[in-house]
Amino acid sequence: MTKMKLPSKLYVAIVLLFLYLPIFMLIVLSFNSANSTSVMQGFSIKWYIELFRDEATLTALYNTLLLAVTSSITATAIGTLASVGIFKMKKGVVKSSIMSVTNIPMMNPEIVTGVSMMLLFVFIGSFLGINGVLGFWTLFIAHVTFCIPYVILNVMPKLRQTDAHLAEAAQDLGCTPAKAFIKVVLPSILPGVIAGLIMSFTLSLDDFIISYFVSGPKFQTLPIRIFSMTKKRVTPDMYALSAIMFVVILVLLILVNVFQKNDEDKKGGARR
């Protein structure tokens, strides 16, 4: 392709500056020696030490990871199975209505999704006479619900690319349908499944709006903890936290990219 011209370079630089200015500010100020979130005075890592001493933040971090791991795995399992099932269905009212319902959590404003699920949980809670239904399980259900569409979105195209006759051939050669699926279909859709899993994991990790409505005081996730802290004056340990998150996300994204690259290279190599 053509080389970037100077005005183009300048434009890209300005937009990137706009996107990264707040993030860099957060990272720089996380090393501030003073208790200020806007004026840099000297270098120190005391806020990082402070962060790891804060019991509530650490618990929230643990909760977030627990929730992200369990809900992304569940969503990936349900979503992958669903893709296989929906893919087999013939075009028609049933298939298109299932697809429309599947897309609702992606299309609906997050606040409406959060509110609607909260109403369901509160309604069931009051029906069963339980006080404080909102907790891990309501968060888990909500996260699985909004992750499933993204798994299907990633797995469906891979199913379309796979040769349907391969599974049939495997069965003709004596595989049971389940074995044919695991041995033949699954490996060919695996990149989509993994992409769906990683996407679900990051979505769950980062979700605030939906979690905010379906969580209770007993089980706080990190974004909710951050929310309650930004209500007051924030101390730089929150900045330290965001700096750590930035590095983790960077590593995750690079890993995903490398993974996809390898996959593409393999495919490109096989075809040529």
Site for other proteins in 171-190 (CB under 8 A): 171, 177
Helix (H, G, I), strand (E, B) or coil at 97: helix
Per CB under 8 A, the segment of 46-54, 127-135, 155-163, 207-215 that binds other proteins is 207-215
- Distance (Å, whole) CA 238 – CA 265: 40
Distance of alpha carbon 41 from the chain centroid: 36
> Closest distance between other proteins and the C-beta of residue 152, in Å?
8
CB of 113 to other proteins, least distance (A): 8
Q: Is residue 213 within the footprint of other proteins (CB under 8 A)?
A: yes
The correct pick among 67, 68, 118, 193 for binding other proteins (CB under 8 A) is 118
* Position 88 contacts other proteins (CB under 8 A): yes
* Percentages (nearest 5) of helix, strand, coil residues in the chain: 80, 0, 20
Q: What are phi and psi of 245, to 5 degrees?
A: -60, -40
Residue from 17, 22, 53 nearest 37 by CA: 22
Q: Is the CB of 8 or the CB of 96 nearer to other proteins?
A: 8
User: Least distance to other proteins from the beta carbon of 29, Å?
Assistant: 8
Q: Are 146 and 68 in contact (CB under 8 A)?
A: no
Where b means 16+ CB within 10 Å and e means fewer, 168-192 reads eebeeeebeeeebbeebbeeebebb
Out of 120, 175, 190, 194, the only residue in the binding site for other proteins (CB under 8 A) is 120
Binding residue for other proteins, selected from 71, 202, 211, 215, defined by CB under 8 A:
202
Nearest to residue 199, comparing CAs of 64, 19, 71?
71
* 137 lines the binding site for other proteins (CB under 8 A): no
Tell which one of 206, 244, 259, 263 touches other proteins (CB under 8 A).
206
111 scored as a contact of other proteins (CB under 8 A): yes
Q: Looking only at residues 1 through 60 of this chain, which bind other proteins when binding is defined by CB under 8 A?
A: 1-4, 8, 11-12, 15-16, 18-23, 25-26, 37-39
